[in-house]
Structure 1
Amino acid sequence: MTTDRLRQQVLVLYLSDSALDSYVVGWARYDGTGHTSPTTGDSDEPPYDTGVAALLDGWRLFQAAQLIPPYPGHEYDVSFLKHEFFFERIVDTRALPA
């Protein structure tokens, strides 16, 4: 494969806890191939049930959120989704439909 045909796709999964086999509670996709809109979150259903399922489908994990304990007294505060995992896959654009 020549590198001028390779493009990155990024998948961000927010899991219910820090374990990669826990359930997906939020997600975002970013497609660098140009064959879909940059963000393709067009479904109410997550693309995978767990982070492990994404790995089994060929996505590569490249970043997981740092685990930071809550400040004392704030254990039950609602805030951002903290169990964030970034996945990528490299796609040969010649293999995509025109």
Structure 2
Amino acid sequence: MQTGDQQEPLYNSVLAAMREGWNVLQSPALPVFRTGFEHDLGHLPYEYVLERKVIVHG
């Protein structure tokens, strides 16, 4: 997990974040398998975004 300005993740897993009230949006990408490019690096096959809605009193 990318945690912004923190060195350590806030949660050990997405499930732990969900238990604390976070919503999860998963955006899996289709893998591209081309001959000769098997060892190239790319995006993660299971990318996700965590969102948490809180009430702000102003």
Same fold (TM > 0.5): yes
CA distance in 2, matches of 1:91, 1:55: 14
Q: Which residue of 2 aligns with 1:57?
A: 20
Q: Which residue of 2 aligns with 1:37?
A: none
Q: Which residue of 2 aligns with 1:36?
A: none
Identity percentage of aligned residues: 33
The runs of at least 4 aligned residues of structure 1 exceeding 6 Å deviation read: none
Q: Which residue of 2 aligns with 1:77?
A: 40
* Residue 27 in structure 1 maps to residue 21 in structure 2: no
CA distance in 1, matches of 2:17, 2:40: 29
CA distance in 1, matches of 2:16, 2:32: 27
CA distance in 1, matches of 2:16, 2:33: 29
RMSD: 2.4
Residue 69 of structure 1 deviates from its aligned partner by 4.4
CA distance in 2, matches of 1:86, 1:50: 12
TM-score, with length taken from structure 1: 0.45
Q: Secondary structure at the match of 1:53?
A: helix
